[in-house]
Amino acid sequence: MAYSDPIYVMFDGDEDAWAYRFMKGWNASENVSFEFANAHDLDNMTSRAQDEDYVKRNLRNRMNGSSQVLVLIGEKTKNLFRFVRWEMELALD
């Protein structure tokens, strides 16, 4: 049974996007028992992805619409202050 409330997934988009894509693949597969409502599928913000205020505003909206947070931690995650650490602090508030 799928969890119907969106789950917000935090990850290093440069280094760990492969793991996030695996999760999305498992979610789409009929052969794998792994289902989640993906908060990042709510909208696409590629048009202004270089604008930090715009990105943070959209990430905050996605997180506010989620009931759970999942953090994918890779080798370089601890060094990410701009978004991942900000997202973690936001989730703890």
49-90 tens-digit pLDDT: 678 888 888 888 888 888 888 899 988 887 877 788 888 899
**How many separate domains does the chain show?**
1
| pLDDT level of residue 42 (50, 70, 90 thresholds) | very low
- Calculate the average pLDDT of the chain: 79
Instruction: Provide the residue range defining the domain that includes 19.
Output: 3-92
Q: Exposed e or buried b for every residue in 23-55, given b needs 16+ CB within 10 A?
A: beeeeeeeeeeeebbbbbeeeebeeeeeeeeeb
Q: CA separation (Å) from 25 to 19, 21, 30, 52?
A: 10, 6, 10, 28
Whether the pTM exceeds 0.75: the reply is: no
